[in-house]
Structure 1
Amino acid sequence: MRCPLPVIELAKRIDDVQPGDVVRVIADDPAAATDVPAWCRMRGHEYVGLGEPEQSAPSYLVRRQH
């Protein structure tokens, strides 16, 4: 997914998991490396770090906080 789609999809789906659960965002857009952590800071969720790549696309781990 290209920016801003990774963060838009994350925002849509974060409520599908329970607080404390981790969501994996797969995005081949280099901007996601800064956009996902920034979104977490703005929304009060925890950016856990990089996950396992999916078909050479990086993934980012986000823990729902509330």
Structure 2
Amino acid sequence: MNDDILEIDALGLLCPLPVLRLRKRMQPLAKGARVLLLADDPAAIVDVPHFCHENGHELASSSEGDGALRFEVIKG
């Protein structure tokens, strides 16, 4: 993984834990910091974009593969 992206492993966690972990880990980061969230809870497909929209973060990309959802978030 790229050194300038913080990776957060939320695999195996159910709603709302992936977003809560994302929020907690993003709080101390500077604006513009990049975070990669890995999750396998289907609710994350809705929860992560909603979290980004509500908190002024940018959802740079989202993808699914190998049983995991990947969300790249840029702190706003």
Give the shorter-chain TM-score range: 0.7 to 0.9
1:62 and 2:67 aligned: no
Distance across 2 between alignment mates of 1:52 and 1:23: 16
Partner SS, residue 3 of structure 1: coil
Partner SS, residue 6 of structure 1: helix
1:19 and 2:14 aligned: no
- Determine what percentage of the aligned residue pairs are the same residue: 41
Counterpart among 61, 67, 70 of residue 49 in structure 1: 61
Which 5+ residue runs of structure 2 have no aligned equivalent? 1-12
Distance across 2 between alignment mates of 1:57 and 1:49: 14
Partner SS, residue 26 of structure 1: strand
Which 5+ residue runs of structure 1 have no aligned equivalent? none
- Give the aligned residue type for 2:72: L
Whose helix proportion is higher, 1 or 2?
1
RMSD: 1.7
The number of residues matched between the two structures is 64
Deviation >2 Å, runs of 4+: 15-18
Deviation, 1:50, is 1.3
Q: Deviations over 1:12-46 (max 9, x none)?
A: 01124321121111110111011000000101111
